[in-house]
Structure 1
Amino acid sequence: MNHGNGVSRGDRNRNARLAKLRTAVPVTNAIVGIDLAERKQMVVVTDHDSKVLARRTFRCKAWDLGAALDWAGERSTRAGYAGVTVTCEPTGHRWRVLGQLAAERGMSFVCVQPMLTSGARKSEDLTTDKTDDKDAVLIARLTAELRCYLPEPVDETWGRLRHLGVRREQLLDEHVACVQQIRDLLECVWPAAISTAQQPFKSATWVASMHVIITRDCGDFTRTRRLGPVRFEHAVRKELTRRGKLRPCLRILRNLYAALADPAGVIEHRSGAFERIAWLIEDWDTARAKLADTEVRMVAVLDDLELTELACSIQGLSPVGAAAILAETGDLHRFTSSRAVVKHAGLAPRQRMSGTFAGRARLSGAGRPRLRTAAWRAVWGAVKSNPVYAARYRHLTTRETNKLKPTQAQTVLAGAILRQLHAVITTGRAWDPDIATHGTLKPTTLAEVAA
């Protein structure tokens, strides 16, 4: 469509966003800026020129701010305003409490990003002073300028998925931390054990064998060597059975038994290090069990939202991977475009252009870091299982001009997964490789053919 006024799609999206914000911050409302803290809440009532109409400090918890909102509503009515718009920074949990209290009173509620408040401090009076009094006024001023946003409405199911996603990230961090500590300790006191398997920490046989060795010897391999290969194999099989596995990898098992004779390592630290490794293996097993349970719950929530089939129509994207992404984005219908999702993840390129100068584009790095991580993890399975993504990856890393490094190509694919997941869920249509490769949209019904 040709627009004679030169308004771009970005302009239209921004205009629509501002119009939506204006309904929450109408000129007929006074603005109540609140700087939240644990026991001290600074409340100011301002007009749209950020002139302070009233100010008061409430020494109470966030749940007791209802009296502050009632006071602010009374002050705004005295000043001739039809209502109030409540605004604050979304730090901690208190802003959710304030939003609920405002909704109970029929008051509009918006949030201001803390980084905007930080920048506004310097522009206010050329200082970096940070006080509750100033911050409350700055929050109100930024809201009057519509430099705020409407917080995401979360229902019970989406809220549960978000909490499960945070829990999964914590367990993944714990899982990785245990692996790194075990590796570091073994490289110090028994480096030969690491080389007995290509990927030791992914091998059930290696983990079971290490458990047998550490619980028997605690640093002295004499007892385990005295068992002999056959009895050692029997002990490992028992441990594997306890862990729910059936058959060991005999090559790894024999390599570990042979490594018992390797003298390399700091012997003086071996006893203490093996005691720590035994604890770490227990923590690792616990973290993996909790992680598996959390992922099952996340997939169940995805089923409740009836999104599993749609999301997993993207070949190579697992139900857990899709649930991890949606736990960070929330309902994708709230985004105006797929590019907005990529910006939310911080995977959109940051352009640097002025006049005839064109700088090198880099990732913005803003947005939700856990969303970037979830999209990045999804790339690994997609490149292996999805021919469209695999071909795209090969093209980006092998083309003659502007050839990308592997990590750069993976970043491009992470953004593509987010865009296509948004399209799949918002349109309700399964992923189509033709459309994913910039093909034409093919009609699927007779009515579409006739149209």
Structure 2
Amino acid sequence: MTATDTTASTLLVAIDISKHRHEVLIGVPGKKRRRRMTIMNTLDDFQRLSAALVGYDLPVRVGFEATGNYHRPLAHHLGQAGFELKLVSSVGLARTREALHNSWDKNDPKDAQVILHMLEIGAIQFFHDPLVTGVADIQELSKTHEIVSRSKTELWHRILTHYLPLYFPEAERFHRSSRTDWFLAFLEKYPTPTMITTMSREAFVADAWQVVGRKVSKERLLSDIYATAVGSVGLPVHPDSDAVRMFRLVLAEGRSLVRQRNEIEVRAVELLSDLPDYQLLTTIPGIGPINALTILAEAGDLRRFRHHRQFLKFCGMDLATVQSGMFRGQSRISKYGNARLRRTFWMAGQVAVLKRTNSFRDKFERYIARDRHNAHLRRKAYTAIAAKMARTVHAVVKHGEPYRPFFEGASPGGRTFV
């Protein structure tokens, strides 16, 4: 994905991005002297830069390093003005800066010089504006879902490690899944055992019947909770105390996060259900609506990767080996790529190997056949399954065909890649 075409007749523009202002260095073909500009993060300065570049009456190629989301407004404005946009790798920028200046120090004007040098030698990558390519909504849904899910997990850990040990330690065994809301709703109504034991068992069952929702053997479950509350060692705090109010405040926040997560998931299905790529992805074992949403948000159009090895490298799942002289280290995945995609494929692979009649489970079983209880071997097997999941996703979308269990395409040279 590195561009190597000639830049002899192209105006090269290097921009070092920051939150409030951007350092611009312009290289004019045939001239050694470079023009410097400093523009603020305002529409007037964006238009001033565009007018200056148009004034050269030459093809323009703009290079910049992705810096958080601060580059997105400027990149969109320059893209709409018709300029060619290129990304510069953050790792490549740091290594090139050290090689050129023999120093580790960093400042914005120096970074602009290094970016311009990388534009000149063609060490650049493609930039795809999500707003132009039509994946902006998908990306925001995916990222917001991750934020809400992480907040929900952090809050649940706080409940498990702080509030439940204080007020109702024995209640943890009744929790089964973080996907459900009933347990938080139950604790919100009965945050301490004393609020349960003040009633008779029959009265408690009748009072909590609607709170726990639909359950198998609901009466037996509530009777078990009542018996547990009778023997609880939780602190005897007053129901109207500030401690209980704070506990309920946290529980209400948890229920709100559950509702937000569910709303995002429903909206994601509505948005993607008619998308052909989404329909193809959901035929693969282990990939449901949220995993498919993440893949489409992070990878964009998978057809731009001509070979699955390019996609594996984009995900950071390509093999890398440290070698020097007679020494050759063990090959490992590089992890220089999209971490969210790697995690998604890892999680999807763990689900796929639990399902029946698919090639993922078959490969996993063959991988661990030597020693099923070897943790290191199982971890390598899960890594191989995650890489296979990435290859399968690429193949399914690129060829436009749904997943077929136990169908393996021929590998070049007969090799089986990790």
TM range (shorter): 0.7 to 0.9
Quick one: structure 1 residues 261 and 203, their matched pair in 2 at CA, closer, same or farther if it must change by over 3 Å? farther
Question: CA offset at residue 198 of structure 1?
Answer: 6.6
Whole-Å separation in 1 of the counterparts to 2:99 and 2:361: 48
Q: Distance in 1 between matches of 2:62 and 2:147?
A: 33
Call closer, same or farther: CA 1:51–1:141 in 2, change over 3 Å: farther
**Residues 1:401 and 1:261: Cα distance change in structure 2 (over 3 Å):** closer
Q: In the TM superposition, what is the alpha-carbon distance from 1:112 to its structure 2 partner? A: 0.9
Structure with more helix by fraction:
1
Q: 1:412 and 2:384 equivalent?
A: yes
Match of 1:11 in 2: none
Map of 1:7 onto structure 2? none
> What SS does the corresponding residue of 1:296 show, helix, strand or coil?
helix
Determine if contact 1:158/1:327 at 8 Å carries over to the other structure.
yes
Q: Which of 176, 180, 190 lines up with 2:157 in the alignment?
A: 180
In the alignment, the residues of structure 2 paired with residue 229 and residue 72 of structure 1 have an alpha-carbon distance, to the nearest angstrom, of 79
- 1:416 and 1:56 map into 2 onto residues whose CA distance is 48
Out of 45, 51, 59, the position equivalent to 1:83 is 59
Counterpart code for 1:373: R
Letter in 2 for 1:412: A
Deviations 1:419-448 (A, max 9, x none): 1011001101111223248699xxxxxxxx
Q: What RMSD, in angstroms, separates the aligned Cα atoms of the two structures?
A: 3.1
**Secondary structure of the equivalent of 2:103?**
coil
Between the aligned partners of 2:31 and 2:16, the Cα distance in structure 1 is 15
Q: Which amino acid aligns with 1:33?
A: A
**Equivalent in 13, 17, 21 of residue 40 of structure 1:** 21
Amino acid corresponding to residue 36 of structure 1 in structure 2: I
Corresponding residue to 1:359 among 329, 349, 372 = 329
Pick from 348, 354, 366: which aligns with 1:395? 366
Structure 1 residues 326, 273: closer, same or farther in 2, change over 3 A?
farther
Q: Kindly state the Cα deviation for residue 227 of structure 1 after the two structures are TM-superposed.
A: 0.9
Return closer, same or farther for 1:35/1:205 CA change in 2, 3 Å cut-off: closer
C-alpha distance in 1 between matches for 2:210 and 2:225 = 17
In structure 2, how many angstroms separate the alpha carbons of the residues matched to 1:147 and 1:256?
64
2:169 corresponds to 1:191: yes
Deviation at 1:104, TM superposition (A): 3.8
* One-letter amino acid of the structure 2 residue matched with residue 227 of structure 1: M
Bigger drift between 115-124 and 179-188 goes to: 115-124
Partners of 1:360 and 1:402 in 2: CA distance: 22
- Alignment partner, residue 232 of structure 1: 204
Relative to the length of structure 1, the TM-score reads 0.80
Q: Which residue is 1:108 aligned to?
A: 84
1:426–1:204 CA distance, 2 compared to 1 (3 A) = same
Aligned to 1:278: 248
1:260 match: secondary structure: helix
* Structure 2 residue corresponding to 1:257, chosen from 226, 249, 253: 226
Paired residues for 1:29-178 under 5 Å: 29-46=10-27, 51-59=32-40, 61=42, 64-74=45-55, 76=56, 82-154=58-130, 155=132, 157-178=134-155
C-alpha distance in structure 1 between counterparts of 2:202 and 2:180, whole Å: 20
C-alpha separation between the residues in 2 aligned to 1:111 and 1:334?
16
In 2, the alpha carbon distance for the partners of 1:302 and 1:203 equals: 24
Letter in 1 for 2:34: L
Equivalent residues of 2:88, 2:124 under 8 A apart: yes
Counting aligned pairs with the same residue, the percent is: 22
SS of residue matched to 2:398: helix
- 1:86/1:107 contact within 8 Å kept: yes
State the alpha-carbon separation in 2 of the partners of residues 39 and 372 from structure 1. Answer: 33
Q: Could you list the per-position Cα deviations for residues 369-425 of structure 1 after superposition, in whole angstroms to 9, with x for gaps in the alignment? A: 222222222223312224322222222223269965333322221221111011001
Which residue in the other structure is 2:415 paired with?
A: none
Instruction: Describe the shift of the 1:321–1:63 C-alpha distance in structure 2 as closer, same or farther (beyond 3 A).
Output: farther
User: Is the CA contact (8 Å cut-off) linking 1:349 and 1:361 kept in structure 2?
Assistant: yes
Other structure's SS at 2:270 match: helix
Change over 3 Å in CA distance of 1:88–1:199 after alignment to 2: same
Moved more, 285-294 or 255-264: 255-264
Distance in 1 between residues matched to 2:277 and 2:365, nearest whole Å: 30
3-state SS of 1:109 partner? strand
Aligned pair count? Answer: 407
Aligned residues of 1:240 and 1:248 also touching (Cα < 8 A): no
Pair 1:292 & 2:272 matched:
no
Gaps of 5+ in 1: 1-16, 441-451
- SS of the equivalent of 2:353 reads helix
CA distance in 2, matches of 1:87, 1:183: 48
In structure 2, the CA distance between the partners of 1:33 and 1:439, relative to structure 1 (3 Å rule), is: closer
For 1:111, the aligned partner's letter is: L
CA contact 1:52–1:137 (8 Å) conserved in 2: no
Equivalent residue for 2:394?
Answer: 422
- Cα separation, 2, equivalents of 1:236 and 1:248: 14
1:17-38 deviation per Cα after TM superposition (whole angstroms, max 9, x unaligned): 45xx245x63211311122234
Indicate how the Cα distance of structure 1 residues 363 and 307 shifts in structure 2: closer, same or farther if over 3 A, else same: same
Structure 2 equivalent of residue 327 of structure 1: 297
Q: Are the equivalent residues in 2 in contact too, given 1:50–1:144 (CA < 8 A)? A: no
Instruction: Judge conservation of contact 1:335–1:341 (CA < 8 Å) in 2.
Output: yes
Contact 1:63 1:98 in 2 (8 A): no
Contact 2:322 2:328 in 1 (8 A): yes
Unpaired runs of at least 5, structure 2: 413-418
Contact 1:192 1:259 in 2 (8 A): yes
Could you list the per-position Cα deviations for residues 256-295 of structure 1 after superposition, in whole angstroms to 9, with x for gaps in the alignment? 2122233534557996554333222212221111111211
CA distance in 1, matches of 2:8, 2:246: 64
